[in-house]
Structure 1
Amino acid sequence: MARLVTLAIDLFAVTLLVFGLYFRRHRRRDLIVAYLGVNVGVLAVASLLGSATVGAGLGLGLFGVLSIIRLRSTELDQHEVAYYFSALALGIMGPLGAASSIWYTTGLTALVLVVMYLGDHPRLFRGYRRQFVVLDSAVVDHVALVAELERLLGARVHSANVERIDLVNDTTVVEVRYSHPAKAPAGTHAEVTARIGAGR
């Protein structure tokens, strides 16, 4: 009975994680099947093979192996990695939780959901952005580069890491982390590539 309860808790939690949090905020359809498949797959394998004596080792082993396979298959943004590990953790906690307190397992499941809800909330650091900017001039002076980026972006630059300076084609590729004033409209957290003409 306890096992069925923990399985039901996991299925409810991953549904809430995927449809209530991730898809509602990020709208990436292809990762829905990935998150659900990872969760239910780990849940099924751990339910069949897990036991009180080998459960912890099994859980860690599945966590590590599946993480390597999944993370090497495609490039994920950091928030998508967080959702992936959350779905994986929920799938492991279900079978392992059947051997311990149901309330403890429920509390840990709720903790994962609450952390993801708050950590990925659109209002959290809503003014901060990250972009790759390509300037059509080779800027070698860091102070001048930051000043030019602030002028073009109309924002405060917190970090400007030069990826490439091409003196032949007269271009600079730089990763910029910046923030707009609090009154600026909120944007996405996705990494984008922009081409900005310096001095134009």
Structure 2
Amino acid sequence: MNELDLSTLLQDFAINAVAIVILAFFIYYLRHRRRDATVGYIATNVSLFVVSAALSSSTTLNVGVGFGLFAVLSIVRLRSDEATQSEIGYTMVSLVIGLMTGLPGLGTDIKIVFSALLVVTMFVVDHPALIKPQQYQRLRIELDRIITDETELQTYVEAHIAGSVKRLTVLEIDFVRETMRLDVRANH
């Protein structure tokens, strides 16, 4: 059993805290203004930091532990149907920062470089000057009829949302209830 060194733990947590605060507050929140997601990123990050630090002190770490952690974390993707790909990206970066800074084996300088690399990457790839913010909105629609012709379906949806459909995906057709569920990306 490895004992946690308090000074190393605090140093690692400081690296983690600086990285997640910059990522969640100064990049994500200032651009997207979603308090709930910001709190979620920080809570997930700190939780994973604590778990990875605790695991490193109580057991011999091997590749299996890493795969096990990422298998559990893959549930985030499965449960993130309402999240945008951008939000999933922020979630994954906050998870990786927490995991990487909480595990032993990497030197402080490497943890700082990796944390900075992840934060700078998100700053750049989510910068509005690089990629313009989405001009559309995601809608989940349930119709009380079944329309199988794609053109007719798009025209019907556009008439009811008073906007133009950019992408339309049929999620489910229920022939018994005569309903359909749609995932629509549209301009309003």
Counterpart of 2:151 in structure 1 is: 143
Q: Which amino acid aligns with 2:167?
A: S
1:62 aligned to which of 49, 65, 69: 69
Counterpart of 1:41 in structure 2 is: 47
1:94 aligned to which of 101, 118, 134: 101
SS across alignment from 1:50: helix
Q: Map 1:149-188 onto structure 2 (within 5 A).
A: 149-150=157-158, 153-155=162-164, 157-163=165-171, 173-178=181-186, 180=187
Cα root mean square deviation, aligned: 4.0
Distance 1:169 1:3 in 2: 58
TM-superposed deviation, 1:130: 2.4
SS across alignment from 2:139: strand
> Given that residues 39 and 90 in structure 1 are in contact (C-alpha distance below 8 angstroms), is that contact kept between their aligned partners in structure 2?
yes
SS across alignment from 2:22: helix
Number of residue pairs the alignment of both structures matches: 177
Cα distance, 1:62–1:177 mapped onto 2, change above 3 Å: same
Distance 1:88 1:141 in 2: 43
Counterpart of 2:92 in structure 1 is: 85
Q: Which amino acid aligns with 1:93?
A: M
Structure 2 unpaired stretches of 5+: 1-6
Cα distance, 1:165–1:65 mapped onto 2, change above 3 Å: closer
The percent identity for this pair of structures is 34
Structure 1 unpaired stretches of 5+: 181-186, 188-200
Q: Which has the higher helix share?
A: 2
> Given that residues 20 and 45 in structure 2 are in contact (C-alpha distance below 8 angstroms), is that contact kept between their aligned partners in structure 1?
yes
Distance 1:161 1:44 in 2: 40
Distance 1:135 1:88 in 2: 38
> Given that residues 163 and 175 in structure 1 are in contact (C-alpha distance below 8 angstroms), is that contact kept between their aligned partners in structure 2?
yes
Cα distance, 1:4–1:76 mapped onto 2, change above 3 Å: same
Distance 1:147 1:26 in 2: 31
* TM-score normalised by L of structure 1: 0.61
Q: Which amino acid aligns with 2:132?
A: L
